[in-house]
Chain A
């Protein structure tokens, strides 16, 4: 694991990876990110969210139109829900989780399968850190849910909805994951943190 900057040569042979480019038979980093030499991956440390089909997002209704709802996604793109397919009646300020159907030609994120989220709390994190908050095979998020008894919905757009359980601890843990996303052994440190708070509480 090493931190690389744009233009830095990472391999002296051409290997196609995301967030890199190849020139003169050599591979260079195109973004500020963490390069894993063994797994041959370059994970960006910063960056905006680019919607992909099938991704889960958390949004806030900002506008009601005759045939649709406009959804704020904390992203450079606006979300839209076609009212025809919406089951509940939604109003401005409602929080929803939804799935991305497509990014249409007007750069609007068309959403589907929405579900209204009642109550709870929202925190915004950097979208580039979301994979770490979920963890490989959902390990991190499972551990969080077990440790805090909160209900958590993680949107790929970097917006997280939390309800119930120890909300303060959940928030603290998520923000810590965001800050330390590029370090190794993070899952263990978060487990320790959750266990420690459990013991101090039961005393």
Chain B
């Protein structure tokens, strides 16, 4: 495997021509699905992700309800045609269940669920096309979808992955970098407080590299947060600007 490892950095640039801390282009559209209470569509490089939110609604089955707060449920799924590799088969697999769980925990920290005891809030993340970093893309899209549903939240979290290629700490790994890098660290952050809501790691980093990775994620997050906020405001501002 090591022998087949492609060269991920050529002339100080990554394979797709990006700098070490450059994000892929991100585009978010809010409120794209009429049937859902909240929704968003996100394109992040070659990733294409839909997020839909339903609720607060009656928690079913009933034993899952919490009399003190809304329960958050999350389902992350990749479409069978989303990836070139076999892990994109349909239905919940080990990986999808894990991502659903960590995503749920991100949003349990920001949704003000105490306002809706006994109900559930369901978040659906559907990856239509994948190119690495889909859990980060899913969380970023779901945050926008939640905001369009009107559910009160303490913050609009974002997520992005950091990684290590050779001696360099890089940001936002794509599929091929993810497969052959020395470390892949998806991080979700609440930008208002800087709290880390999700932190996973494949591979290994030194203490210094880890600190650098978190700092780079926070810096990239300012860009992602801005795109999220603009996606939410854009449809309304378009109309208000017409009458200025």
**A residues within 8 Å of B by Cβ?**
3, 5-9, 19, 21, 23, 28, 30-32, 44-48, 76, 107, 128, 179-180, 182-185, 189
Contacts and interface: CB of A to CB of B under 8 A. Distances in A.
A32 B232 contact: yes
Interface of B: 37-38, 55-58, 110, 112, 118-119, 146-156, 190-192, 228-229, 232-233, 236-237, 239-240, 243
A197 B93 CA distance: 59
Contacts of A47: 149-151
A45 B236 contact: yes
A32 B146 CA distance: 10
A132 B147 CA distance: 21
A30 B192 CA distance: 12
Given A5-B232, A32-B232, A48-B56, A21 B154 contact: yes
Contacts of B149: 46-48
A76 B57 contact: yes
Given A32-B148, A46-B38, A7 B236 contact: no
Contact of A180 (B37, B110, B154, B239): B239
A7 B107 CA distance: 13
Interface-central residue, B37, B110, B152, B191, by most chain A CB under 10 Å: B152
Given A48-B37, A76-B56, A5 B239 contact: no
B150 A32 contact: yes
B38 A30 contact: no
Nearest to A78: B58
B66 to A, nearest CB: 14
Most buried by A among B147, B228, B236: B236
A179 B57 CA distance: 25
A95 B155 CA distance: 41
B150 A31 contact: yes
A189 B152 contact: no
B147 A32 contact: yes
A88 B17 CA distance: 73
10 contacts: A6-B147, A6-B153, A6-B154, A7-B190, A28-B154, A30-B154, A31-B153, A76-B57, A182-B239, A183-B243
A20 to B, nearest CB: 9
A17 B240 CA distance: 24
A30 B114 CA distance: 13
